[in-house]
Amino acid sequence: MIDDLPAGFGARRLDEEDHLPVLAVLDSWWGGLKGPAGAKERALLLPRLYFQHFTSTSFVVERDNGEMAAFLIGFLSQTEPEAAYVHFVGVDPALHGRGIGRALYRAFFALVREHGRRHVSCITSPQNSASQAFHTRLGFTTSAVKPGYDGPGLDRVVFGIDLGAGARNSGA
């Protein structure tokens, strides 16, 4: 399902039972970014609906012992026929630098290409410089900070990538 994972890791589709385990890792993986308000904000961005209705374009990476190592939650745009969106990605910080995040994105790109999607976008908070560096390395363009992008006080940076013309035929 996902190529290029390090030895000792496996991938599978997200499912509804992953909801609470994903919420449980958010605080430790994000290192308390923006404090308790940040923790609440992250939980509210991941209501159960994502774990029910968008599992077919979302992945979990686990260690061989079943412990969660990373996840990616994305979807196909229902409005824009050539667009897909990555809503939330997390990688255990102890595993950063091992290519797991990159492998998750590659798997998502391959999957959405099969659905004819070429434009992929996602956002992060202006404080998350690690996310901005990571997406730049993956080839995303990065916007300037957009004040109030997700509502009053919810500033965001927007990432975008064009997977190229003929996305449907370009394989994985």
Q: Where does this chain touch a copy of itself (CB under 8 A) — which range of 1-9, 81-89, 94-102, 105-113? A: 81-89
Residue with tokens 């994105």: 105
Residue 32, class by beta-carbon neighbours within 10 Å (0-12 exposed, 13-18 middle, 19+ buried)? exposed
C-alpha span between 165 and 149 (Å, rounded)? 29
Q: Where does this chain touch a copy of itself (CB under 8 A) — which range of 3-11, 36-44, 59-67, 136-144? A: 36-44
Interaction of residue 65 with a copy of itself, rule CB under 8 A:
no
Spell out, one character per residue from 118 to 137, where the chain touches a copy of itself: x when CB under 8 A holds, - when not.
--------------------
Nearest one of 6, 8, 19 to 58, comparing CA atoms: 19
Helices (H) and strands (E) in the chain, counts: 5, 7
Q: Are 43 and 23 in contact (CB under 8 A)?
A: yes
Question: How many residues interact with a copy of itself (rule CB under 8 A)?
Answer: 34
Q: Are 77 and 100 in contact (CB under 8 A)?
A: no
C-alpha span between 115 and 127 (Å, rounded)? 33
C-alpha span between 109 and 11 (Å, rounded)? 15
Nearer to a copy of itself, 63 or 87 (CB): 87
Interaction of residue 149 with a copy of itself, rule CB under 8 A:
yes
- Among residues 7, 31, 78, 164, the one that binds a copy of itself under rule CB under 8 A: 78
Interaction of residue 1 with a copy of itself, rule CB under 8 A:
no
- Among residues 34, 41, 82, 114, the one that binds a copy of itself under rule CB under 8 A: 41
Residues 101-120 within binding reach of a copy of itself (CB under 8 A): none
Interaction of residue 144 with a copy of itself, rule CB under 8 A:
no
Residues that bind a copy of itself (CB under 8 A): 19-20, 23, 40-41, 43-49, 52-57, 75-80, 83, 85, 87, 148-152, 154, 156
